[in-house]
């Protein structure tokens, strides 16, 4: 089992990349942070395997496309026996996006676009973000690799209309969202999602979810209607997603804007818009992730009469965003990941059955 990272010492980092130039750039950049110690750099998965045993790093940064054994295969081999927090540092090409998502599903805890050598004066800012996220990864709980699942073909019973499910996630959200969305019936209420992810990755992530779920999942487009059986994933990188309109004719808008809580798209921006547009018709969940994005927005949803859920600490890869929501009193229930899917559906049923709204699972109810 992985030795916990001590809070009173620097985070020990192993860099794994087949490019000598990238290894050097990352080593120099990470070493500028006094809270990070680069303990080694490996050019291949085979070399990394040996160095992990000898150096016992707290965090590994990992490239995907490497000779002989690629990063995804390496993670699937490593994680069951040595769940080492791993930060993927990958190019954001279309093929790279799909492969990198497979690595996240294999147990990696975060994804960062590989820094370009030619960015010049912008490189220190990029490295500062990488340092921050590497430090955060040291406190993460790597998830078990997801099994491959085929897309269900038979629809399941209806759960009603006239409500919106809103979900926000960050670090660890790739696996969490898959676990929540896969059990939903084909005619589940309309869903809007913000998952912190670099530009170029969300379309590939939406396709992977779509292939595994009974509902339709796709990257959101400006003006898309929020309809039953459809989950809209906010595009990464340049715009915020908001929900507008009036029941039952809600739609999403995409607009450029400054980052909120260092994030674009921001969960807070999406949650606040849903609170304004749908009020008590919202069922929202804030999942695993570092930082506090989404906490204040979740509170606005609760104040507007919506149902609010935060993922619990035990099942979160990083209990940052949900913890911030709990501290604010924004969550009406704090539930383990495996209970959230049914809780979301249960909260939509009163709209058509006329029963009191409640969550049937045990959890911390506030």
Reported as type and span, the H/E element at residue 191 is strand 190-195
Which string of b and e fits 321-353 if b means at least 16 CB within 10 Å? bbbbbbeeebbbbbbebebbbbbbbbbbbebee
User: Any catalytic annotation for residue 361?
Assistant: no
Diameter of the chain by CA atoms?
64
Q: What token pair was written down for 149?
A: 């699942």
User: Any catalytic annotation for residue 196?
Assistant: yes
Measured between its terminal Cα atoms, the distance across the chain in Å is: 35
Q: Which of 33, 58, 139, 170 is catalytic?
A: 170
Q: Which residue has the tokens 């049937």?
A: 360
Cα–Cα nearest to 4, from 142, 175, 145: 142
Q: Which residue has the tokens 């059990």?
A: 183
Q: Which of 139, 196, 240, 251 is catalytic?
A: 196
Considering Cα of 21, then 27, then 30, then 33, what sign does the dihedral take?
A: negative
- The percent of the chain in helix, strand and coil, each rounded to the nearest 5, is 35, 20, 40
User: Any catalytic annotation for residue 17?
Assistant: no
Q: Which of 293, 316, 332, 341 is catalytic?
A: 293
Known catalytic residues are 170, 196, 293
């Amino acid at each position: 089992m992985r030795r916990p990272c001590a809070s009173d010492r620097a985070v020990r980092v192993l860099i794994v990349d087949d490019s000598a130039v990238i290894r050097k750039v990352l080593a120099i950049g990470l070493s500028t942070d006094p809270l990070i110690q680069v303990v080694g750099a490996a050019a291949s998965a085979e070399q990394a395997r040996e160095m992990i045993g000898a150096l016992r790093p707290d965090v590994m940064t990992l490239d995907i496309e490497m000779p002989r054994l690629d990063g995804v295969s390496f993670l699937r081999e490593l994680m069951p026996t040595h769940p080492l927090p791993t930060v993927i540092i990958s190019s954001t090409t279309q093929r790279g996006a799909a492969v990198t998502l497979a690595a996240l599903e294999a147990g990696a805890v975060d994804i960062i676009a590989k820094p370009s050598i030619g960015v010049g004066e912008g490189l220190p800012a990029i490295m500062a973000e990488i340092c921050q996220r590497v430090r955060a990864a040291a406190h993460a709980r790597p998830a078990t690799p997801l099994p491959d699942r085929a897309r269900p073909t038979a629809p399941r019973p209806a759960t009603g209309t006239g409500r919106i499910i809103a979900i926000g996630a960050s670090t660890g959200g790739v696996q969490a969202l898959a676990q929540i969305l896969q059990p939903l019936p084909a005619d589940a209420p309309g869903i809007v999602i913000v998952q912190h992810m670099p530009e170029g990755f969300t379309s590939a992530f939406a396709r992977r979810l779509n292939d595994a779920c009974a509902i339709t999942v796709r990257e959101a487009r400006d003006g898309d209607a929020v309809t039953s059986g459809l989950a809209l994933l906010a595009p990464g990188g340049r715009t915020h997603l908001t929900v507008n309109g009036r029941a039952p004719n809600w739609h999403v808008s995409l607009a450029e804007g400054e980052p909120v809580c260092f994030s674009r798209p921001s969960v807070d921006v999406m949650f606040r818009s849903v609170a304004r547009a749908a009020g008590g018709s919202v069922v929202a969940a804030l999942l695993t992730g570092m930082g506090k994005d989404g906490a204040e927005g979740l509170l606005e949803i609760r104040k507007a009469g919506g149902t609010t859920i935060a993922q619990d600490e035990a099942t979160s890869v990083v209990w940052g965003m949900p913890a911030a929501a709990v501290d604010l009193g924004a969550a009406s229930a704090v539930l383990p990941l495996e209970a959230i899917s049914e809780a979301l559906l249960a909260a939509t049923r009163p709209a058509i059955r006329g029963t009191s709204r409640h969550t049937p699972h045990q959890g911390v109810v506030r």
